[in-house]
């Protein structure tokens, strides 16, 4: 856990709510200078309260649902603003009584004592794009719920569900479903659900086009770099890009993996590990994105698929654990790619995954399923490689793209 170091003479803790905020201002010695409630979140009145201390003041509030406006207002007023991690703060301080007055006072004590675990203040100019991306994801979830309702209706009537060829034209699918239902009332229910599905299709398509248009203006290079990772397409690249924000805010790759919810903390006592904790500390969208990338990548990339299959065998067939390991490797690759502005290198990922195999363990003799079909046809004749053979890197779903001239997978 990292803590914020306050360097100002005065510190202000705010217990923020939807329609009021309780303000506490202290000096370095812990003397309370202001301790009062501000109704209707009147920021102008707040500035009058802190006017004698504004020249050397740090403002802090917990990371709750309504902190955006306060962070922006403090920035415009020239105040130093710190966002406290709500879950960490809850673990640090506690007491028999709890109310707004006590919370604001304890928050100020933690701030002046340099015990505030800071959260990231996402830049105000990038928040609308991230909100648009999350809105698209919400619409996709609602559309999935509606499709599940339609499928459940078909199963309840012991009917097979018509296959959808594309989501851009659902007319044949809609016609087939309505033709199979003869009851007029159930047809009304189906029409309503299908109409909402088609409406979500239109809104999602509009959001995707706008997101791609805006991304090409502000972060086109990073957007293209992320798509070179196997399993990461346009949507996952957008999610990773805007949920990360600035990659330089993570000093090490371990901090980045922790933020992505890909690693857990341990609970140890007397030199023994008792369990794990912290599974929900971090960004859930990044955890979902890299998890999806791992599943898609090992399905479509012929270099990753054999290694992922061997990893799954080593973990006694536990797909969840093997997918998590692959997601960690992909997240590490994305971190260094965004840091160094380089494209994906399959050789580094292969070398990193091979380290996960325990030495001396017998590996499976052959591959099965998609991995076996995707393996390139090898030429039995020996071919000598030139020392200057170029390295082929980038995303590929077929062996022809990644196979070098020397018959070696690069």
Give pLDDT, residue 359.
Answer: 60
pLDDT in tens, 164-199: 777 778 888 889 899 988 899 999 999 999 999 999
% of the chain with per-residue pLDDT over 70: 86
Give pLDDT, residue 358.
Answer: 63
pLDDT band at 392 (very low <50, low <70, confident <90, very high): very low
pLDDT at 396 over 60: no
* 58 or 162, greater pLDDT: 58
Give pLDDT, residue 157.
Answer: 87
Of 171, 167, 178, nearest to 200 by C-alpha is 167
Mean pLDDT value across residues 301-324: 84
Give pLDDT, residue 40.
Answer: 94
Give pLDDT, residue 375.
Answer: 46
Of 177, 184, 117, nearest to 152 by C-alpha is 177
Q: Are 98 and 15 in contact (CB under 8 A)?
A: no
Burial (CB count within 10 angstroms: exposed 0-12, middle 13-18, buried 19+), residue 5? exposed
Displacement of CA 50 from its chain's centroid (Å): 37
Q: Which residue shows structure tokens 């506690």?
A: 94
Burial (CB count within 10 angstroms: exposed 0-12, middle 13-18, buried 19+), residue 340? exposed
* 334 or 382, greater pLDDT: 334
pTM: 0.80
């Amino acid at each position: 856990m990292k803590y914020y170091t306050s360097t100002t003479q005065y510190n202000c803790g705010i217990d923020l709510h939807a329609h009021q905020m309780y303000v506490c201002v202290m000096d370095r010695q812990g003397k309370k200078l202001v301790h009062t409630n501000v109704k209707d979140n009147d920021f102008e009145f707040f500035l009058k309260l802190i006017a004698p201390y504004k020249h050397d003041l740090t403002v802090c509030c917990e990371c709750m649902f309504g902190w955006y406006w306060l962070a922006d207002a403090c920035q415009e007023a020239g105040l130093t603003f710190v966002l406290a991690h709500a879950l960490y703060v809850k673990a640090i301080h506690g007491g028999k009584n709890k109310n707004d007055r006590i919370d604001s006072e304890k928050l100020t004590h933690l701030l002046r004592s340099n015990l505030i675990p800071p959260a990231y203040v996402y830049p105000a100019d990038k928040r609308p794009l991230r909100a648009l991306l999350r809105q698209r994801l919400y619409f996709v979830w609602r559309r999935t719920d509606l499709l599940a309702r339609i499928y459940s209706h078909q199963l309840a009537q012991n009917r097979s569900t018509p296959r959808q060829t594309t989501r851009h034209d659902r007319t044949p699918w809609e016609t087939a479903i309505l033709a199979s239902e003869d009851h007029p009332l159930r047809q009304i229910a189906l029409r309503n659900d299908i109409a909402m599905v088609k409406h979500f299709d239109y809104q999602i398509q509009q959001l995707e086009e706008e997101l791609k248009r805006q991304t090409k203006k502000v972060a086109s290079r990073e957007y293209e770099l992320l798509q070179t990772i196997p399993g990461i397409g346009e949507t996952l690249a957008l999610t990773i890009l805007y949920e990360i924000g600035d990659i330089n805010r993570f000093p090490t790759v371990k901090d980045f993996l922790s933020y992505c919810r890909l690693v857990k903390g341990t609970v140890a006592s007397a030199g023994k590990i008792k369990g794990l904790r912290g599974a929900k500390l971090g960004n859930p969208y990044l955890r979902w994105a890299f998890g999806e990338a791992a599943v898609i990548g090992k399905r479509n990339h012929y270099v990753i698929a054999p290694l992922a299959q061997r990893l799954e065998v080593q973990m006694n067939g536990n797909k969840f654990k093997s997918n998590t390991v692959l997601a960690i490797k992909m997240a590490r690759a994305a971190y260094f790619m965004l840091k160094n502005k380089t494209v994906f290198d399959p050789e580094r990922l292969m070398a990193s995954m091979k380290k996960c195999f325990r030495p001396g363990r017998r590996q499976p003799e052959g591959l099965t399923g998609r991995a076996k079909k995707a393996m390139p046809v090898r030429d039995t004749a020996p071919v000598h490689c030139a020392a200057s053979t170029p390295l082929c890197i980038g995303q590929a779903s077929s062996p022809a793209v990644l196979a070098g001239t020397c018959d070696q997978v690069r």
